[in-house]
Every structure is written in C-alpha cells, then in structure tokens.
Structure 1
Amino acid sequence: MKKSDRFRKIFSQGVMDIFEIWVDQETGVNYLYHASGYAGGLTVMLGRDGKPVITPVQQEE
C-alpha cells in the first residue's frame, strides 16, 4: 500500500464549515475532521462504549 492510500475519505459535508470522516485503511479506525475558517481539527470517532469506531477493511494480497 502506498503512503498516499492509507487514509480514505468516506464522507464530506459543507464548504465553509467542513465535516469529513476518514478511515485508516490499515487499522479501520474512523476519524472526524472539522474545519471552519482558518481552524481545523482531527479526532478519533468513539462509539457509545468509548472504543474507537472500526470499519472493516479489505486486505490486499
């Protein structure tokens, strides 16, 4: 896997106030990215149990 292929954007909403969900293709962990104006931040998405949200990923052979 190339380094540029590690993260995949699966959701995007907004133009000036942006919300995106990114999935790590190696671990399946979901991240929420939010940007507004000149500020932005990235955080792990957590489920009700406090554990990271995991999306099953297909392993390349």
Structure 2
Amino acid sequence: MKKDDDRFIKTYKQASFSEGIEIWVDKETGVNYIYKYSGYSGGITPLLDRDGKPVVTAVFEK
C-alpha cells in the first residue's frame, strides 16, 4: 500500500528470489538508508559516503 504521507520512499531495488538490496530515502531529512534482506532476515543502516558521512538527497515538496 502506497500513501502520499509515507515518510520513506524507495529509490532503488535489486532483488532475486529470496534476497535483495533496497535504498530508502527519508523525505523529512533526505538521509539515505540501505536495506539488505535474505530469506526471513534483514537489516537497515544509513548509507555512508567515502568520508563516513550519511548520503543526503535533496527532498522536494510537491
């Protein structure tokens, strides 16, 4: 279910049958998160640049 008031938006997905990687962006802060899953487990963490700082995407309001 997709709602316009969702805080996070998925910007990337690479998946196979039971595992994958997704990138989600927080619409309020612009911080990017990487979500990795395999089978019934998964984890999420901020996506970092080469300097160890969070990747931030400009967020535009409609």
TM-score, normalization: structure 1?
0.86
Q: Residue 36 of structure 2 aligns with which residue?
A: 34
Deviation at 1:49? Answer: 1.0
What SS does the corresponding residue of 1:18 show, helix, strand or coil? strand
RMSD: 1.3
> Are 2:12 and 1:11 equivalent residues in the alignment?
yes
Percent same amino acid among aligned pairs?
A: 55
Gaps of 5+ in 2: none
Partners of 1:33 and 1:48 lie apart in 2 by 18
Deviation beyond 3 Å, 4+ runs, structure 1: none
Partners of 1:42 and 1:7 lie apart in 2 by 13
Task: Name whichever structure is richer in helix by fraction.
Answer: 1
Deviation at 1:18? Answer: 1.1
